Amino acid sequence: MRSRQLSRRAFLSTSAAATALGGAALLSGCGATAGGGSRVGLTTFAANVGIDPRTGREIRGLNDFLSDAGLDGVVAVDVPGRDANSTNSKVQTMLLGGSVDIIQMSTVYPFFRQGLLADLTPYYERDSWADNYIEAIFAPPLERIMYPPWDPAPSTYISSPGILNTLSLAYDAQLFEDFGVEPPGTIPDIDDVVAKLPRLTGTNPRTGEQCYGMYYDPRAASHIMLYYFGRGIDLGTVDPDDPARLAFDTDQVRSGIEQMIATAEFAPPGFEIGQGAENWGTENNTVAINMSVAPAAMQTAQDNGLVDRFVVTEGVRNTEGHTFYVTATEFAIASAARDTDLAWEAVKLLSGAEGQRFLYEEYQELPTWRDADWVDTDLTPYAPAFIAAAEAGRNAFFPEFMFRTFRPWMASIISRALGGASYDLAAELADQQRKAEQWVLDQA
């Protein structure tokens, strides 16, 4: 492994800018990135030794990591989740043209469905590869790593997990103290959280500032609130022979939306458009509970030395004790790779213990690797809570219709309700159900 080298075509890039920068792995979501890959709309990671612009700390680039492994000359690029729609066609073209061996993206199953990615099941079985990761990563229903997506019994491994993606609920312990309210427990009860919102909304007796019980962005997180308020949500399944099995017009969904509308008064003005929590993680914060945070959302609190004040819980659980979201970035191999065995060895390096430890130490990305004994609570004090939330994860079935159509509609109805505009929840929900059933038919 260490004596062989991958060619530049082994990693996803055709741009001169990316080639000039060098690099190592195809990862998404890390903070230390540099622009590059303009021809294909991708970005390169910081290459070689540099300075972290956030901390001023010297960091080793991913190019150095692969060079140490005897894989110099490989270009490091990224397909950010936020840019996936604009880059998918370009990635598809590269896979069809045989100009890429390994891709890393947030979701790769559409390419596997087209026959453009290799079946990694034989490698998983030979190397007992799944045993190395947080078990919840592979628990269906899931969109990533295994195929078919959202299947109750997926049978095919199509990628190897990269860095951890998960969410939890966090709170400002100082505001709870100011208002004389008992803070949530390590594993918060959603009914208890909701009951406390009015007591945390009003003039802060210590500071005189107006404070608010909660914050979330309905445009990005209303599906999470639907899961919380429903203590888990069951939307059925996608069945072209019976489209009504995908069920959005249910009492459970309606109740969840009604609770979102009812609790909106305890959120700051502008929350419906993503405003109102700009001071989260600072001394001037006025939001008691941040209902859904990713690890990156806690960086400000850590930078400001307020880790004791801003607390991350181990996730809001459903009736079976599971959080709803745990997944990972994905490394996949092109079906037309020139040397699939060698590409698998590179994927094992990048997504395995060495690669994940490197990304943790240099970029503080949390690992999906099960025995990640290198995680340092001094470096990442919130890591244990997020990892505990991830380990309890069982993904909810949220089809693409949720994100393309239903979530924007939920954000809209919350905004209209806040503005005093009229709405007919029953009629609109029935209309959403009709759209969902048509979406199912369109997938056939």
Identity of the amino acid at 371: D
pLDDT per position as a tens digit, 62-89: 667 767 877 654 433 445 454 455 567 7
Residue 281's nearest CA partner among 303, 251, 266, 248 is 303
* Residue pLDDT, tens place only, 382-410: 999 999 999 999 988 999 899 999 999 99
For residue 8, the tally of other CB atoms under 10 A from its CB is: 13
Domain membership flag for residue 312: no
Please state, in angstroms and as integers, the Cα–Cα distance from residue 153 to each residue in 133, 140, 156, 160, following that order.
19, 7, 10, 18
CA–CA dist 319, 379 (Å, integer): 33
Of 211-225, 307-321, 340-354, the range with the lowest mean pLDDT is 340-354
| Residue-by-residue DSSP string for 283-295 | TT--EEEEEEE-G
| The token pair that represents 321 in the structure block | 């004790």
The identity of residue 254, as a single letter, is R
> What's the CATH code of the domain at 106?
3.40.190
**Rg over CA atoms, the chain:** 23
Report if residue 246 sits inside a domain.
no
| Residue 58, both tokens | 């010297």
Taking the C-alpha atoms of residue 277 and residue 170, their distance in angstroms, rounded to an integer, is 13
Centre a 10 Å sphere on the Cβ of residue 279 and count the other Cβ atoms it contains: 15
Task: Write phi, then psi, for 72 (nearest 5 degrees).
Answer: -65, 160
Is 100 inside a domain boundary?
yes
Q: Is 93 a member of any domain?
A: yes
Can you say whether residue 265 is alpha, beta or left, with left for phi > 0 and alpha for psi between -120 and 50 degrees?
alpha
Residue 36 domain flag: yes
Q: State which residues form the domain around 83.
A: 8-134+330-367
In a domain, 434, yes or no: no
User: Cβ atoms within 10 A of the Cβ of 376, count?
Assistant: 12
Number of domains the chain contains: 1
pLDDT over 70, % of the chain: 82
Looking at the predicted structure, is the pLDDT value of residue 61 above 80? no
pLDDT, mean of residues 146-155: 91
Residue 223: closest CA among 87, 4, 435, 411? 411
> What pLDDT score was predicted for residue 58?
76
Higher pLDDT, 198 or 22: 198
* 373: CB partners within 8 A, 6+ apart: none
Distance from C-alpha of 424 to C-alpha of 276, rounded to nearest angstrom: 27
Q: Could you tell me if residue 316 is inside a domain?
A: no
pLDDT-wise least confident of 37-51, 56-70, 150-164, 386-400? 37-51
Give the closest residue to 266 by CA, choosing from 193, 353, 323, 336: 193
Q: Quick count: other Cβ atoms within 10 Å of Cβ 104? A: 26
pLDDT tens digits along 162-190: 999 999 999 999 999 999 999 999 999 99
Task: Let me know if residue 268 belongs to a domain.
Answer: no
